[in-house]
Structure 1
Amino acid sequence: MMESRESSIRVKDMDAKVLEILLHYMYNDRLPESMDEATEETTNMAQHLLVAADRYGIGRLKLMCESRLSKALDVNTVGFTLDLAEQYHCQQLKDCCLRFMTRDGGRLRAIVNTKGFAQLKRNQPHVAFDILGQVIALLPAA
């Protein structure tokens, strides 16, 4: 009996706070109220939770994270978010990112100059063709 109290389970490649929120979700079927706030910290946590949800096959949590991330898009985060969406096969989140990027030409110019877009080009060069396709679709027919 003493040995059972001293044993532990090690979860590699996951921050303790992410694991805490993941377990909260699994036991309560909802995210903690602290995740309701739209802050940089909760956006960052949603990114990490999306990765964990994908790893452990928790589809509903993954969709919840995608939804939160799609609502938190801005010029500086959209490149990182699109890279994440592509890595973890989040088509709805990818579509939201592409719409956000291509909705306004001035916005796209600003996005292209961010660190997130540089990371996206490095990790997912084929996504540039998706962006180009979206931009071309918006151009008036000749």
Structure 2
Amino acid sequence: MKEEKEGRVEIMDCEFEVFREVVEYMYTGRAPKVNEMAEQVLVAAEKYDLGRLKAMCEDVLCSKLSVGTAAEMLALADMHNADQLKINALEFIKAHAAAVTETDGWRTIASEKPHLSIEALCALAVAKTGSANK
């Protein structure tokens, strides 16, 4: 194997700083820069099955949800099986639907991942119907 001969392994699909954060976490259980690169670390944590690190990333991303980021976070969560982030993004979208649906991120998921926009709008409809029946 090339890796054995050269004494190194090339990781081509992950930036150096992101992988450094992953390795730091694997050795120490800490990820000191996770706030700065939570999206990228979440992708790596999913790939390497690091559930606790992935949860840390989800917590950071949930705390940063905004009108401008909610749609992108929903897509990221869906793509990388980040259930807590997906739940929080859907809740945020329900609470701020009028503003979120005007963003470029929303237009992107509506055209590229229509199942997500349908899921969000169904959740909104259920919430509206449920509150109207009370």
Q: TM-score, normalised by structure 1?
A: 0.80
2-structure distance, mates of 1:119, 1:65: 23
After superposition, where does 1:95-110 map in structure 2 within 5 Å? 95-103=87-95, 107-110=96-99
1:17 CA drift (Å): 0.8
Partner of 2:82: 90
Partner of 1:55: 47
Q: Which runs of 4+ in 1 moved over 6 A?
A: none
Number of paired residues?
A: 128
Partner of 1:134: 123
After superposition, where does 1:8-47 map in structure 2 within 5 Å? 8-32=8-32, 34-35=33-34, 42=36, 45-47=37-39
Contact 2:94 2:124 in 1 (8 A): yes
Name the aligned partner's letter for residue 8 of structure 2: S
Partner of 1:121: 110
1:137 CA drift (Å): 2.3
- Over the matched positions of the two proteins, sequence identity in percent amounts to 31
116-125 vs 48-57, which deviates more?
116-125
CA RMSD of aligned residues (A): 2.1
Contact 1:83 1:123 in 2 (8 A): no
Partner of 1:64: 56
Q: What secondary structure is seen at the aligned counterpart in 2 of 1:86? A: helix
Contact 2:34 2:57 in 1 (8 A): no
Partner of 2:100: 111
Closer/same/farther in 2, CA of residues 70 and 55 from structure 1, 3 Å limit:
same
1:121 CA drift (Å): 1.9
Q: TM-score, normalised by structure 2?
A: 0.85
Closer/same/farther in 2, CA of residues 85 and 18 from structure 1, 3 Å limit:
same
Partner of 1:39: none
Name the aligned partner's letter for residue 86 of structure 2: K
